[in-house]
Amino acid sequence: MPGNSFRKVYVIPCSGIGKMYGLLGREAVLKTVKELRPDKAATMCLALLVYGDDEARKEINGARCITVDGCPKLCAAKNVEQAGGVVVERVRAVDAFRNHRGVDAGTAAHLTAAGWQIADELAADLAGKVDRWYDASEEK
């Protein structure tokens, strides 16, 4: 688990192992927390949180969270809320395809070059959202 301060914004993807959207969302989140906003954002294993790990729940309780879901079941958004996180943005990976209709982005196991491009665009969008919520906390 990355070391996190209370002010960090959590960006949490669904696990989404069965569909390409799950992988794309997950990779976008990893880029956001590792490369684009390592000082402002962190992630967490959704399953660990859902299973009720005390440490994970304590960490997320009251924290601002951006969830990224791969399917309409919105497991990440619902489960993070149930665990006590404050979901400030619900992002759906499918929405990143608005400007890429019909593109072959890959599979649940790998992304094509176009898929990586979309994942990077989604990551940039997530980074902007992280800035907004992190900075809002600074102002307070």
Residues that bind other proteins (CB under 8 A): 1-2, 12-18, 22-23, 26-27, 29-31, 33-34, 43-48, 50-51, 53, 73, 75-76, 78-79, 82, 108-110, 116
In whole angstroms, the minimum distance from the beta carbon of 56 to other proteins comes to 9
Q: Which is nearer to other proteins, 44 or 91 (CB)?
A: 44
Q: Which is nearer to other proteins, 94 or 108 (CB)?
A: 108
Q: Which is nearer to other proteins, 55 or 139 (CB)?
A: 55
| Three state DSSP letters for the chain | CCCCCCCCEEEEECCCCCCHHHHHHHHHHHHHHHHHCCCCEECCCHHHHHHCCHHHHHHHCCCEEEEEECCCCCHHHHHHHHCCCEEEEEEEHHHHHCCCCCCCCECCCCECHHHHHHHHHHHHHHHHHHHHHHHHHHHC
